[in-house]
Structure 1
Amino acid sequence: MARLIKRYENRKLYDTEASEYVSLSDIAALVRSGDTVRVVDNATGRDLTAQTLTQIILEEGKRGTHAIPSDILHQLLRRSEEAIDVGFEQLRSTVDDLVQSSFGRLRRLVQGPHAEELEELRGQLRSLEQQLSTILGDLEERETAADPSDANRSSMSTTDDSAEDDPEHVEP
């Protein structure tokens, strides 16, 4: 993981790991010792690493210390576009690997050790749905069958009641 250096508005650089302010020379020493640094603007979060490392190279070149030979700088400028292409290719490859890994995990979840259990639960759910459908169908049939008999009973009681209430009605 890169060592985080924050750059403040006053141009001071702060090493968050060492909890102290550092100079460009200190950052150069960190890089030479094998550390990877990441310099960010404290206010915006913008990555300033390339700008800072370029500034270190420029300052050292002015002093004549650790100057990079001109032919290497020429090659660097000529190949900067190649480097960008390589960077994008690496990024694409990383994203492809991540997508494949995600699909692999998803496939293992669906087809893994729980796949049989999932299929068994699906079967049980289908069976319960069929049983529920049958029960609901039976209930509907019972309600339909019960309705006509209730209607006959109520019409018969209405007929009997009307006969008793009618004073002119004589039973044979």
Structure 2
Amino acid sequence: MESTMSHAVVTGRSLRTVAAGAFVLAVLAGIAEAILAVTSIAGTTGLGGGVLVQVAVRGAVFATALTCAWYLARGRRWAWWALLLGLGGAGLASMLVPMAAALADGASWSTVFDAGTSPLFPAVRALHILSVLVGVTVMLHPGVRASLGRIQG
């Protein structure tokens, strides 16, 4: 007897969309982190030129990451590589290496997750890291790689 329930088919294209969505969520978490950090800094020491430069750099990185996620969802191989190396490599390392070094030096988890910045910051940072890990993991699925366009575009 045939089932009347439809079965979801997981395709490389649908997995690309999931990976792209995870990267968008990571960027949104990064934006939330920046807002929390800038708000904290503004309330304690004021906004100097260094903070504004950091905001501009992060804004450029976030815009680039969102653009790459959009193109990944559309099957662009170059976007796959950009996200893998950019967010999955350099971006993740920029968050995890200092955290690991601080833990190795005896810092507490609260300190490592910048809980002093805002009570929300640790949760937002964890979401940021987890979203990148999910995006990279899904993106590495063979179906995603097979679904990427042959022509760079």
Bin the TM-score by the shorter chain: under 0.3
Please state which structure has a larger fraction of its residues in helix.
Answer: 2
The structure with higher relative contact order (CA 8 Å, sep 6+) is 2
Please state which structure has a larger fraction of its residues in strand.
Answer: 1
So what's the TM-score if we normalise by structure 1? 0.22
